[in-house]
Structure 1
Amino acid sequence: MKCPYCNSVMRLGTIQADNLLSWTPDGESPKGATRWAKSPNSIVLAKYFMLAPAVIDAFYCPDCQKIIINVDNTK
């Protein structure tokens, strides 16, 4: 994949977390007392399953240090 910022070749890799991996809008905080809590407007990027971590593919540009993630909320 070509980087949309600098046109360099991006490297495919993964981002993972021990529980829920989500993006939260600025100014909001997770609602709830558990480590799986999220704000109402959060976008879930990946969910944990049983004992496996939450994992999502991501492209990284080593030149401009940007990461691009395709969000798929259907999983």
Structure 2
Amino acid sequence: MICPFCGAAMEKGCIKGQHEMAWLPDDKRDALFTDAHLQEGAVLLASSSIFKGSVVDAWCCRVCEKLVVEY
């Protein structure tokens, strides 16, 4: 993939975590004690599994230090 920000080649990989991963709007980021994907406007990127954690495919541009996430 070519980086949409700087035009450099991107490296395919993944982002791993122990819990679910979700994108939240700025005004929802500080909500504590609530599953992220239940927040209004949230985009669930990866659900969590006891055995695998959570994994979401992503592309990394090491030139401009940006990630492009596939969900």
Tell me the C-alpha RMSD between the 2 structures: 1.5
Residue in 2 that maps onto 1:64: 64
After TM superposition, give the deviation of residue 18 of structure 1 in Å: 0.5
The 5-angstrom pairing of residues 1-75 of structure 1 reads 1-28=1-28, 29-30=30-31, 33=33, 37-38=35-36, 39-71=39-71
After TM superposition, give the deviation of residue 6 of structure 1 in Å: 1.0
Give the Cα separation in 1 of the matches to 2:54 and 2:19: 6
Name whichever of 4-13 and 21-30 sits farther off: 21-30
SS of 1:27's partner is helix
TM-score, length-scaled by structure 2: 0.84
Q: Which runs of 4+ in 1 moved over 4 A?
A: none
After TM superposition, give the deviation of residue 16 of structure 1 in Å: 1.2
- Identify unmatched segments of 5+ residues in structure 1: none
TM-score, length-scaled by structure 1: 0.80
- Identify unmatched segments of 5+ residues in structure 2: none
Residue identity (%): 28
After TM superposition, give the deviation of residue 2 of structure 1 in Å: 0.5
